[in-house]
Amino acid sequence: MSGAKCLIGNWRFKSADEQYWLPAAVPGCVHTDLLTNERIAHPFYGTNEGDLQWIDKKDWEYSSVFDVPDDILTSSNVNLVFAGLDTYADVYLNEEKILSADNMFRAWRADVKRLLKAEGNTLRVYFRSPIQEDLPKLERLGYALPATNDQSERGGLGDNKLSVFARKAPYHYGWDWGPRFVTSGIWRDVWLEGWSRARIADVFIHQKEVTATAAKLTAAVEIESEGSWDGAIHLVTEGVDVIWMVKLEAGVNQIDVDVVVENPRLWWSRGLGEQYLYTFTATLVQGDAAVAQKSVRTGLRSVRLVRDEDAQGTSFYFELNGVPVFAKGANHIPNDSFLTDVSYERYKHEIVTAVESNMNMLRVWGGGFYENDDFYNLCDEYGLLVWQDFMFACSMYPGDEEFLKNVRMEAEENVTRLRNHPSIVLWCGNNEMDTAWSQYDEEGGWGWKQQYAPEIREKIWRDYEAIFHETLPQVVESFAPGADYWPSSPMQALTRDKDQHARNDSSVGDIHYWGVWHAVEPFSNYNVYLGRFMSEYGFQSFPELKTVQSYATDADMALESDVMRWHQRSGDGNRLIKEYMDIYFKQPKDFPSFLYMSQVLQAEAIKMAMEAHRRKKPYCMGTLYWQINDCWPVASWSSMDYYGRWKALQYYAKKSFRDVAVSIGGADGALEIHVISDVLEETKGNVHLQLFDFKGLLLKELTYTVQVKANTAQVVLSLPVDDLVATHNPNDVVLLVTLEQDGEVIDAKEHYFVPANQIALPLPSITAKPVEGGDGSSFVVETNVLAKSVWITSEFEGVFSDNHFDLIPGVPKTLQFLQRKPGEDAFSPAEPGPITIRSMAEFIVQ
C-alpha cells in the first residue's frame, strides 16, 4: 500500500538581520525559541512583556537540513506539508521558492518531488514581520477599522490597529485578559508525504439521519489519483462491511458510499449517556491490492439548534438524540499565549476539569484559534459539546476580494478538518460584532459606526455581511451539511432590522450579559436579566498567592503596583473588584487576603447567575460563563488559573452544575426551594431543612417529600422567611437545605438571611482526620463554630473533591485529594501530604 510520511526536524532560527543561527523547536515560535536560548527574560514575569515588543517588528528565518527516506524518495508524488505557519511566510526548498503563506489558520502543501535529493536538502522559511506586512494595508484602506481589544499602544504603534488585517489569532495582539505577543513561527508539524497511484485525502461521515434503530450515513471519500482506473472502496466499521466499486479519474475524485448502521450505539453528552465512538476505515483497492487507506473516528448522534416560536418568544437550545439539553459550561480561550507550550496533559486537565465540574459544553471563542485535534478528541471522549466560533471577535474586518478568498479557504479547511467530531454542535460566525456595530439601531452598539461617514459605514457593513451572512454559512452548508450556523454571538435573529441585535431583556436568541461587572450592577440583576441562552457573563478575580508569586515579588504585592496593574488587562478591573468587595464583603486584612477574598467574591457572583439561569429551565436552556481558563498568569474572569489551579469559582461551578441540584431563591419575604434535574428519569426524594446557629445548635428541622419530573426545574417549596427564622437573630443563623434520594445526599446548599458583610464570623478551630481504613487520600473535616469559605491547600498540585465551602459545627464533611500527575490520569487519588486549612475569618479585619 502506498503512502509514507516523515516529520522534518533539526531546526534552527535567527533574526533576518543577524548572521548566527540558534537551535529552534518546531512546533514553536520565535518568542519561545528566544526564551529557550536565554536571549530574552521570561515574557510573563513582572512587566517584561513591555520590553519584548521589538520581536514582532523583525523578520525571522527558520532552517532545516534533512535527508529523505527511500520509501518517500521513490514515491511518484511527494508533498511537503506545513500544518501551520504563523503567519506571513515564504518557503524555500533547496533555494527554490515553493510557497507563500498568509494565514495562520490554514495548512500549506507543495509538490516537491522534483526538488528532493536523498541527502542534504535545505528547507528555509522566511517569516515577514506581521506588523511591517500589515501597516501598508491600513494606509491603503484609508481609515481605521474598530478593534477594541487590539493593544496597539503597548506595541508602540499608537492607534494603528493591525490585527484585523492578519488571519492570525486576534488575542496575540492583546485582549482584556491577555498580553500582546504577536508571534511568528512554525506552530504545527512539518512533514514529507509520499504516495503513488492514489491517496485518500479525506473521509467525511455525513450523518443524514440517526435514530436509536438506524443511522443512515454517507461516507464521502475524497481520493487524489495519478490516473484513471477502476477499483473499489472497502468501508468497515462495527456492523458495516461494504465494498463500493469506483471509476477514478486523474485528479481529485469525490466518492459517496451510503451505509446504514443498525441499532447504533449513540453518542451522548456527559450526564446523558455513553460517549461511544465508531472508527470508520476506508481502503482503496485494485484487485486484491490495497492502494491507500484512511481511518476516521466519529460518534453517531442527531443534533440541532432548536429555535421555535413559543408563548414567551423563540427558544434557543440544543436537542441531542431527541433530548433537549440544558447547556452548562464556560467559554474557552487559548490555554497559552504561546500555543505550542500547550501539551496534551494540559488539554486533558482542562477537559477533565470541565467534566468534574459537571459541565457539558465549552464555547471555543472567536478571538483565539481553531483548536488542536487533541482538544476536540478529548471533548468527543468525555462528552463535552462544543460551540465553535470562527476566528473573528470584537472587530470589523476588511472585505476586499483577496481577504474574502483567504477567509473562505480558511473556513473550508477548518470545517473539513473538524466536521467528524460529534462534540461540535454549532458553528458561530463571530463574537460580539453584530451587537457592537448594531447596524439597524442608531442608538445601539459600542459607538463604532458613528465614527464614519455614511458611505464608509455602509461599506464596512457590506463587508461584514459578505463574511458572516454569505461566505461562512455557505461553507458550513457545503462542507458540513446539516450543521447549524449562527451568524454572531450574541444576536436575536437574522432579521435585517432593529430586532436583529441582542438585548439583555430579550426572549429571542442568545445573550452576553455584562451589566454585572462593567456597569457595576448588583449581583441580584442576574435574577432579572435572563434570556433563552446565556452565552457570556462573568466576574473577575485574582489567582491565588502561589500563582501571583510566579510573576511578582513581595514588593509588588499591592493592588496598584506596576506589576499588579500590568497583570490586569481590563482597564478598571482592579478598581471594580475592590468596589464590589466593599459592597458585599468585609475588608480583607492584607493583600494576600484580598487575593483570596476576590475569588470568593467572584464565585458568589457567578453562582447567583448559574443557578438563576438553571432555575428558569426550560425558558433558559444554556449558561456559559466567561471563562474557564487563562493564557498567562493574570487577574481575570477565569475559574482556573494559568497553571490549572482551581479558583473558588471552579468548585462553585461543580456544585451549581450538579445534574440534580437544589437551589435557593425567592423574593418578597419568601424563600423558594428549587430542584433542578438534567437527568432523564424522575427524581423522588426528600428535601431536608435545618436551621443552625453558628455554634451548631439545631434550631429548627423540617422534611418534605418531593417528586420532580425528568429534565426539568421545579419550585418544590415556598416558605415565609419570618416563619423559618422566627425569633432568632438572622445575623447568627444559617439554613442548610439537603436533597436526599434513597438515603444518599444528592446536593446541599447553605442560605444566609443577611448579606455576608453583616455576618459575625468567629475564628473557628478546624480539624482534619484521615478516613479510617482508607487509602490516605480521604479525610474528614470538622469545626467548632461556623467556618465560612473554608480553603484547603496542599503542597502538591491537585484538587480536592470540594473546597471553598461553608462548614457547620456538627455537620462534618468528608473530602478526597486528587493529585495532578503529568503523564497519568488527569486526577488521581493520593495522600495530600501536609495541608493548610483556613476560612474567611482569618482573612478579614475583625
Q: Residues 209-233: pLDDT tens digits?
A: 999 999 999 999 999 999 999 999 9
Is residue 600 packed enough to be buried (19+ CB in 10 Å), middle (13-18) or exposed (0-12)? buried
Question: DSSP class of residue 323?
Answer: E
pLDDT beyond 90 at 117: yes
Contacts of 324 (CB under 8 A, 6+ apart): 306, 317, 318, 618, 621, 711
Per-residue pLDDT reduced to its tens digit, 485-530: 999 999 999 999 999 999 999 999 999 999 999 999 999 999 999 9
Per-residue pLDDT reduced to its tens digit, 729-739: 999 999 999 99
C-beta separation of 414 from 391 below 8 A? no
Q: Which of 670, 654, 752 is nearest to 719 (CA)?
A: 670
656, containing H or E segment: helix 648-656
Average pLDDT over residues 441-460: 96
Contacts of 115 (CB under 8 A, 6+ apart): 93, 94, 96, 98, 121
Cα angle 291, 292, 293 (rounded to 5 degrees) comes to 140
- Give me the sign of the Cα torsion angle 356, 358, 783, 761: positive
* Cα–Cα distance measured from residue 111 to residue 193, given in angstroms and rounded to the nearest whole number: 10
Q: Which of 193, 220, 192, 195 is nearest to 206 (CA)?
A: 220
Work out whether strand 766-770 and strand 744-752 pair parallel, antiparallel, or are unpaired.
unpaired
CATH code for residues 326-655: 3.20.20.80
pLDDT beyond 70 at 49: yes
The confidence score (pLDDT) of residue 3 equals 80
Grid cell digits, residue 354: 470541565
pLDDT beyond 80 at 317: yes
Contacts of 432 (CB under 8 A, 6+ apart): 393, 394, 488, 489, 490, 512
Question: DSSP class of residue 510?
Answer: B
Per-residue pLDDT reduced to its tens digit, 321-343: 999 999 999 999 999 999 999 99
* Cα–Cα distance measured from residue 782 to residue 765, given in angstroms and rounded to the nearest whole number: 8
Grid cell digits, residue 795: 503542597
Any idea how long the chain is?
Answer: 846
The confidence score (pLDDT) of residue 667 equals 82
- What is residue 668's three-state secondary structure? coil
* Cα–Cα distance measured from residue 475 to residue 468, given in angstroms and rounded to the nearest whole number: 11
Is residue 227 packed enough to be buried (19+ CB in 10 Å), middle (13-18) or exposed (0-12)? exposed
pLDDT beyond 90 at 358: yes
* Cα–Cα distance measured from residue 192 to residue 116, given in angstroms and rounded to the nearest whole number: 10
The confidence score (pLDDT) of residue 726 equals 87
CATH class of 761-846: mainly beta
pLDDT beyond 80 at 625: yes
Please name the amino acid found at residue 418: L
C-beta separation of 373 from 669 below 8 A? no
* Cα–Cα distance measured from residue 775 to residue 105, given in angstroms and rounded to the nearest whole number: 47
Q: Which residue numbers are catalytic?
A: 432
Q: At what angle do helices 591-615 and 573-584 cross, to 10 degrees?
A: 80
pLDDT beyond 80 at 682: yes
The confidence score (pLDDT) of residue 821 equals 81
pLDDT beyond 80 at 278: yes
Which of 3.40.50.300, 2.60.120.260, 2.40.160.60, 3.40.50.970 would CATH assign to domain 4-191?
2.60.120.260
C-beta separation of 845 from 587 below 8 A? yes
Q: Which of 627, 650, 652, 654 is nearest to 638 (CA)?
A: 627
C-beta separation of 168 from 174 below 8 A? no
* Cα–Cα distance measured from residue 54 to residue 65, given in angstroms and rounded to the nearest whole number: 29
* Cα–Cα distance measured from residue 646 to residue 829, given in angstroms and rounded to the nearest whole number: 17
Cα angle 175, 178, 184 (rounded to 5 degrees) comes to 90
Domain boundaries, the chain: 4-191, 197-298, 326-655, 658-760, 761-846
* Cα–Cα distance measured from residue 810 to residue 786, given in angstroms and rounded to the nearest whole number: 10
478, containing H or E segment: helix 472-479
CATH class of 197-298: mainly beta
- What is residue 512's three-state secondary structure? strand
Per-residue pLDDT reduced to its tens digit, 804-844: 999 999 999 999 999 998 766 678 999 999 999 999 999 99
Q: At what angle do helices 472-479 and 401-418 cross, to 10 degrees?
A: 30
Contacts of 440 (CB under 8 A, 6+ apart): 496, 497, 498, 500, 501
* Cα–Cα distance measured from residue 367 to residue 168, given in angstroms and rounded to the nearest whole number: 9
Is it true that 326-655 and 658-760 share their CATH fold?
no
C-beta separation of 647 from 541 below 8 A? yes
The confidence score (pLDDT) of residue 824 equals 67
Torsion of CA 441, 444, 445, 449, to 10 degrees: 60
Band (591; pLDDT cuts 50, 70, 90): very high
Question: DSSP class of residue 372?
Answer: P
Asked, as a colleague might, if the bond just before 27 is cis with ω within 30 of 0, I would say yes
C-beta separation of 87 from 55 below 8 A? no
Give the homologous superfamily in CATH for domain 658-760: Immunoglobulins (2.60.40.10)
Cα angle 348, 790, 788 (rounded to 5 degrees) comes to 135
Band (766; pLDDT cuts 50, 70, 90): very high
Please name the amino acid found at residue 491: M
Band (666; pLDDT cuts 50, 70, 90): confident
